Amino acid sequence: MLRKVLSVVALASVTAVAANAQTTTATNTSSVRPFTIGIKAGASIPVGDLSDVAKTGFIVGGQLGFKPAMLPVWLRADVDYNNMSAKGTGAGHLNVWGFTGNVGYDLPVSGAIKPYGIAGLGAFRSSASNGGGSSTDFGFQVGGGVKMPLSGFNTFIEARYTRVSTDNGSSQFVPVYFGVSL
C-alpha cells in the first residue's frame, strides 16, 4: 500500500519538474480569472479497514472554483465518482459519489509550480454492485497538491485523505489524481 502511494507521489514529482521546465514563461491563468472549471482522473486507494475489502480503483470528477482577487484562499465545489473493486470471491465494486465543498490555501512560494493545501466537507453516496445496499453519509477530506500553469490553462496533481462516517464506523480512502482547469 505504501509503495503504491509513494509510486504515485514520485510520478507526480517527476511530472511537476517536467512541467516547471516547460512553463517558466507561462502566466498563471488562475490569477486572471476568478472562476475556474476543471476535470480530473486518477487512482482511488482504500486505506484502513476499507483496504481489507477493496482494491485500488479509479476516480473521475469535475470541479468549479472561485478565487477572490488578492487572497491566497479559494473555494471549490467538487463532484467525484470513485470505483473500487471488492476483494475475494463474489467480488463486485464499491461505488462512491462525493459532493464536497472545499477551502484551499495557496502556499506563498515563487516559481511556476504553486503548492496548496485543501480541506472540505461533503456528502458521499456509497453503493455496492453485489447487492450490498447503499447509503448517503457525511465526511471530510484534507490534502494538498501542486498547480502547474500551461499555455491557456492550469494542470494540477492532488491527493486527499477522505474519511466518510458510516453506521459501522468509517470508510477511508485516498484519491490521487491529475486534472486540468480553465
Q: What is the pLDDT of residues 43-74, one digit of tens each?
A: 999 999 999 999 999 999 999 999 999 888 99
pLDDT at 11: 53
Tell me the mean pLDDT in the region 145-162: 95
Tell me the mean pLDDT in the region 96-123: 96
pLDDT at 18: 45
The band of 130, judged by pLDDT with boundaries at 50, 70 and 90, is: confident
State phi, psi for 14 to the nearest 5 degrees.
-65, -45
pLDDT at 137: 97
Q: Walk me through the domains of the chain, giving residue ranges and CATH numbers.
A: 2-181 (2.40.160.20)
Tell me the mean pLDDT in the region 138-166: 96
pLDDT surpassing 50 at residue 17: no
Distances 80 to 6, 14, 21, 47 between C-alpha atoms, Å: 23, 25, 30, 18
pLDDT at 7: 55
Cell numbers for 125, please give them: 453516496
Distances 122 to 4, 21, 172 between C-alpha atoms, Å: 26, 36, 14
| Dmax (CA) of the chain | 54
- The predicted model scores a pTM of 0.81
Q: What's the rounded Cα separation, in Å, for the pair 3 and 135?
A: 31
pLDDT surpassing 90 at residue 128: no
